[in-house]
A = this chain, B = another copy of it.
Amino acid sequence: MGKVLVFGHTSPDTDAIVSAIAFAELKNKLGETVEPVRLGALNGETEYVLKHFNTDAPRLVKTVSNEVPAVYLVDHNEPQQSADDIDKVDVLSVVDHHRISGFETKAPLYYRAEPVGCTATILNKLYKENGVVVPKTIAGLMLSAIISDTLLFKSPTCTDEDVKAAKELEEISGVDTQTYGLAMLKAGTNIGDKSAEELIRLDMKPFEMGKYNVEIGQVNVVDFDDALSRQAELETAINKEIDAKNLDLFVLAVTNILTSDSKALILGKAAAAAEKAFHIELKNNTAVLKGVVSRKKQIVPVLTEELAK
């Protein structure tokens, strides 16, 4: 088998980047030739993580079929969250912790999904199952991914398995999880230098829900105003995105990592359905989503159920 590429979803977050690096490392240790790549710009948090652990960012690509016939996916499976030409390559394996949707293969494959908070938690198991010790730097990166995805274990997506994996990785990496974790999450909330376009795309994922095209972005802050003081500018960027992609709904969740609440900015012709789904009333296109920090567990299923009606 020739070289295989591995990558996480578009608009990559820390888990998407780190899991590609950690998966490639495991496969390379097992004798394969695997290169981690990325499908988008790094966010501030991930830049902080890679710098802290003195690790190069994976190479940026838009397409993959021009390089390889087959790929590995981490941290995603839905084609619209993947490489532009994902339909032109064979997917040999998937390691993921999301719902399965729109994913099709011609042949059997290795697919490992678990309903845990972070892909890195599953990768930690795969290292053990394959008898490979996680290298110190990789352990620090994987711990960062767990901190990122679980918001330092406070997200409802966080499971006992994530906590257990984080403890093991803390031990290997020698990182002080609480101190490092908070610094890392705060680095991700430093959004003053981003344009409105960059902000809405920072951690944005497209979804098909029923017959609706939906995009959901998420921005972590330590104060809602960090982002929402620029609401007019954000709305212009979102409406441009809606027009360009013919979206029915755009939800931007501004998540306060200190209070574990979100404020949603919601635009698009299906906005009323979103109000119904969350039992909220939008005022000036926004509403607080009390206790909501997880797109995957608290936003996507609720919206999917309402829009499928």
Contact = CB atoms under 8 A, between A and B. Distances in A.
A180 interface: no
Interface string A89-111: 00000000111111111111111
Contacts of A129: 129
A174 interface: no
Contacts of A113: 108-112
A91 to B, nearest CB: 9
A296 B97 contact: no
A87 to B, nearest CB: 10
A189 B228 CA distance: 70
Interface of A: 97-115, 129, 296-297, 300-301, 304-305
Which of A102, A104, A111: most chain B Cβ within 10 A? A111
Contacts of A107: 99, 115, 297, 301
Contacts of A108: 97-99, 113-115, 296-297
A111 B116 CA distance: 12
A170 B194 CA distance: 62
A303 to B, nearest CB: 10
A92 to B, nearest CB: 9
Contacts of A102: 104
A109 B100 contact: yes
Contacts of A300: 106
Contact of A304 (B98, B101, B106): B106
Contacts of A304: 106
26 contacts: A98-B108, A99-B105, A99-B108, A99-B109, A100-B100, A100-B104, A100-B105, A100-B109, A101-B105, A102-B104, A106-B300, A106-B301, A106-B304, A106-B305, A107-B297, A107-B301, A108-B115, A108-B296, A108-B297, A109-B113, A109-B115, A110-B115, A111-B112, A111-B114, A112-B112, A129-B129
Contacts of A97: 108
Contacts of A100: 100, 103-105, 109, 111
Contacts of A109: 99-100, 113, 115
A48 to B, nearest CB: 27
A268 B198 CA distance: 54
Contacts of A297: 107-108
A104 B129 CA distance: 28
Which of A98, A100, A101, A305: most chain B Cβ within 10 A? A100
